[in-house]
Amino acid sequence: MTPAPPDLPTVEGAVEVLRRGGLVAFPTETVYGLGADASNEAAVARIFAVKGRPPHHPLIVHLPSAEALEAWARGDLAAAHRLAERFWPGPLTLVLRRQPWVSHRVTGGAETVALRVPAHPLALELLRRFGGGIAAPSANRFGSVSPTTAQHVRQSLGDAVDLILDGGPCPVGVESTILDLSGSTPAVLRPGGVPREELEAVLGHALLVPARPNVPSPGQHPRHYSPTATLLLVERESLPWEAIRLSRAGRRVGVLLPPGSPPLPGEVHAAVRLPADLAEYARQLYALLFHLDELGCQVILATLPPEEGLGAAIADRLRRAAAGETPF
């Protein structure tokens, strides 16, 4: 086996960058993360600077395995271990009471900390070799679409990141599900890669999905995950007419066309047909938004998918991407 050429980023190189307080973008199964040593305050501060993220918004700490839970979280961790057993490594983030030493830079001043073990082989190798926790938000500028390829990380953050590990396209494509176990009743703070139904099956009871969590969450901001184009949600029946009307009004219209819809006339700038399978849709969602932006679309029209399984996460991201937009 020939060693990788020196200019190709390696996991060893990434570990060195983390050790000296730098930033590493790395693939997870959900989206690419922008990682820093979670126990290095200055390094964590750089994440906020590079992303343009308000400082009180907490970060997820990525761990090499569930064995690290006790080092970061305290209190009764029985439910956390049960869920970890079933879903880690995987797209589930657990919000737990933090150990007193965990930095407020990471927790945004909260008494809780968000933890997850990602399922991507490169992420796991990085975490195992690094040994500590890696604080990582999605590797995009605050408010914009999360990257699911190394190319999109480069486009979004450029030279602001010290090293980018390229692990190909992310297989899940939407962020992790965030489950808050810190209060008296478990609550889903963000739908994501693990469907709520699967969590309920393991916990043996229905889960709360609060309309507004009591902790500040950028993922809960009304406008988030947005492409440059204006994203508008429309009813499926009115989609063709809206696409035609806006195109005739001189807009470059992009359409996320639901499966089974008839094709649109050529005057519509760009239409991409969505896969019927929701896992496949989730995998492609952010890349499709990037693609329609690149094609110069000014408006993107979308409909909401059925909100079961991964459909809940897709619908959540579409709603937030569209939040605050006024129809033309």
Nearer residue to Mg ion within complex by CB, 58 or 305: 58
Nearer residue to Mg ion within complex by CB, 138 or 217: 138
Q: Which residue has the tokens 């440059």?
A: 228
Nearer residue to ligand TXA within complex by CB, 93 or 247: 93
Give the total of residues touching ligand TXA (CB under 6 A): 30
Show the binding pattern over residues 121-150: x = contacts Mg ion (CB under 5 A), - = does not.
-----------------x------------
113 touches ligand TXA (CB under 6 A):
yes
Distance CA(106)–CA(221), nearest Å, equals 18
Can you point out the beta strands (E) in 238-282? 253-257, 270-273
Of 14, 17, 18, 30, the one binding ligand TXA (CB under 6 A) is: 30
- Chain positions 306 to 325 lying near ligand TXA, rule: CB under 6 A, are none
User: Do 7 and 163 form a contact (C-beta atoms < 8 A)?
Assistant: no
Q: Which does 112 bind (CB under 5 to 8 A by kind): Mg ion, ligand TXA, none?
A: ligand TXA
Nearer residue to Mg ion within complex by CB, 138 or 230: 138
Shortest distance in whole angstroms from residue 164 CB to ligand TXA: 13
User: Do 284 and 292 form a contact (C-beta atoms < 8 A)?
Assistant: no
Nearer residue to Mg ion within complex by CB, 220 or 230: 220
Number of neighbouring beta carbons within 10 Å of residue 131: 11
Smallest CA-to-CA distance from 62 within 46, 83, 38 is with 38
Of 189, 232, 299, 321, the one binding ligand TXA (CB under 6 A) is: 189
Of 9, 11, 25, 58, the one binding ligand TXA (CB under 6 A) is: 58
Of 219, 240, 305, 309, the one binding ligand TXA (CB under 6 A) is: 219
- Chain positions 116 to 155 lying near ligand TXA, rule: CB under 6 A, are 118, 136-138
Record the tokens describing residue 44, joined without a space.
């964590």
Using a 10 angstrom Cβ sphere, with 0-12 exposed, 13-18 middle and 19 or more buried, the burial of residue 265 is exposed
Shortest distance in whole angstroms from residue 201 CB to ligand TXA: 21
SS3 state of residue 236: coil
User: Do 108 and 55 form a contact (C-beta atoms < 8 A)?
Assistant: yes
Shortest distance in whole angstroms from residue 35 CB to ligand TXA: 8
Smallest CA-to-CA distance from 192 within 60, 96, 63 is with 60
Shortest distance in whole angstroms from residue 51 CB to Mg ion: 8
Distance CA(70)–CA(60), nearest Å, equals 16
Nearer residue to ligand TXA within complex by CB, 77 or 270: 77
Distance CA(257)–CA(264), nearest Å, equals 9
- Is the bond leading into 27 cis (omega within 30 degrees of zero)? no
Q: How many helices (H) and strands (E) does the chain have?
A: 11, 13
Of 11, 60, 63, 288, the one binding ligand TXA (CB under 6 A) is: 60
Q: Which stretch binds ligand TXA (CB under 6 A): 36-44, 195-203, 213-221, 317-325?
A: 213-221
Record the tokens describing residue 170, joined without a space.
């992310």
Distance CA(256)–CA(318), nearest Å, equals 11
Shortest distance in whole angstroms from residue 150 CB to ligand TXA: 13
Shortest distance in whole angstroms from residue 159 CB to ligand TXA: 20
Buried b (16+ CB within 10 A) or exposed e, 16-27: ebbeebbbbbbb
Question: Can you give the binding site for ligand TXA, defined by CB under 6 A?
Answer: 28, 30-31, 33, 57-60, 91, 93, 95, 107, 110, 112-114, 118, 136-138, 175-176, 178, 189-190, 215, 217-220
Question: Can you give the binding site for Mg ion, defined by CB under 5 A?
Answer: 138
